Amino acid sequence: MDYFKRIIDFFTAGEFSEAGKQVFFRWLAEEEHSGEKDRMLKELWNHTGHKADAKTRDSWRTFRREAGLQEKVPGIRRVRVWQTAAAVLLLVSLTTIYTTYRAKRDVSSAGLLEQYVPVAVTERVVLPDGSEVHLNSGSLLLYPEEFTGKSRSVYLSGEANFKVRPDKKRPFVVKSNDFQVTVLGTEFDLLAYPGDSLVRVTLLSGIVEATYNNLDKHTVLLPNQQLVYNKRSGSSHINHPDIESVTAWQRGEIVFKGTTLSEIITVLKRKYPYQFVYHEERFGNDTYTFRFKEDASIEEVMEIITQVVGYIRYNIADDTCFIEARTQ
């Protein structure tokens, strides 16, 4: 068994006392032996972050829960700094966020605030500097009670629209996985869910610099440009997307363009409070384009998708949507 996977499995097996867990989390956040920890966390991410099996993903969820972040509790709550460090390691960039936290430039000792948005809703947050954030469903935002360092850093897992208050002396930095966006004052949309292979940042106004691929690559974006980064392959490219489609989620709409059925269901799981039961391996690789209005019910959405795809059928029972694919 992979050494680093064994560390996770051992920790999440419940063999640590509460005091032991606290010691472990504190150790992750301390500066001593930081180089060894950086290397361990980077290799841990490389081994498990992109190709985790079901057991490992369960371990991540358990580790996340043990770190003090509940998966389905909406709203803001105070998080102790050492808990946040450990939680962010698992939710966002294991290496990048940890390094930033350890440097203590961006986070005050007073702690961080957590904003978690459950399925089927979106929420707006005003940050301490007056910047506005609109969070999509299933997203998590971590930010300090007060920006006291040389930069204004926040951590995102999911999707959000940022309207950043200008401050030439303190750049605004959004971190997610091995991807970060640095701005002085602008509006942009960042799509960075942990389970997705692609990260997308779309600039609506101003100018931003995206840093990614273990922070080795840098791209400056201009308005109406979109950077697409593949976390698995490390490749990236620039798009000129339809901005109305990019921001559709903020109006409650659902837009798919050139999207596979598997990717469509992934989005629907964030949009609707239903469990989806299906066999992904039976889906083809065809792509589809749909646009659904704000108040479209799950039945309306599935009915249209079923008709267009042709080889699937669905059934909704209570809070579960069963999708069956016929052999193609």
Residues 287 and 226 in one domain: no
Residue 37 token pair: 């920890």
For residue 97, being part of any structural domain is answered with yes
Per-residue tokens: 325:
């694919």
The 3-class secondary structure across 139-205, one letter per residue, is CEEEEECCCCCCCEEEEEEEEEEEECCCCCCCCEEEEECCEEEEECCCEEEEEECCCCCEEEEEEEE
- Are residues 170 and 146 in contact, defined by beta-carbon separation less than 8 angstroms? no
Task: Give a yes or no: residue 72 inside a domain.
Answer: yes
Long-range contacts of 34-41 (CB under 8 A, 24+ apart): 34/99, 34/102, 37/98, 38/95, 38/98, 38/99, 40/4, 41/89, 41/94, 41/95, 41/98
Residues 100 and 181 placed together within one structural domain of the fold: yes
Identify whether 157 is part of a domain.
Answer: yes
- Asked whether residue 44 is assigned to any structural domain, the reply reads no
Ranges of the chain whose pLDDT falls below 50:
1-20, 22-24, 26-34, 45, 48-52, 55, 63, 66-74, 77-110
Whether 226 and 283 share a structural domain? no
On whether both 294 and 145 belong to a single domain, the answer is: no
**pLDDT value at residue 43:** 54
Residue 304 lies in a domain: yes
Radius of gyration of the chain (CA): 20
Per-residue CA distances from 81 to 68, 98, 231, 248 (Å): 11, 12, 28, 35
- Show which of 212, 243, 274 is a domain's final residue: 243
Whether 230 and 307 share a structural domain: no
H helices then E strands: how many in the chain?
9, 19
Query: In terms of DSSP bridges, do strands 226-230 and 75-79 run parallel, antiparallel, or are they unpaired?
Result: unpaired
Do residues 233 and 313 both lie within one domain? no
pLDDT at 116: 87
Inside any domain, residue 114: yes
Same domain, 77 and 99: yes
Same domain as 265, residue 310: yes
Domain count, the chain: 2
Q: Which domain holds residue 256?
A: 252-325
What's 142's domain CATH number?
2.60.120.1440
CATH of the domain at 265: 3.55.50.30
Q: Say which amino acid occupies 87.
A: A
The pLDDT assigned to 32 comes to: 47
Are 275 and 167 in the same domain?
no
122/219 same-domain check: yes
Domain check: are 282 and 157 in the same one? no
Task: Indicate whether 28 belongs to any domain.
Answer: no
In-domain check, residue 48: no
* C-beta of residue 115 within 8 angstroms of C-beta of residue 123: yes
Predicted model pTM: 0.70
Question: Cα separation of 174 and 180, whole Å?
Answer: 5
pLDDT for the residue numbered 326? 83
Q: Are 137 and 271 in contact (CB under 8 A)?
A: yes
Last residue of a domain, one of 221, 243, 265: 243
CB atoms within 10 A of CB 63: 20
What is the reported pLDDT for 259? 96
Choosing from 194, 219, 243, the residue where a domain stops is 243
pLDDT attached to residue 185: 86
Same domain, 211 and 278: no
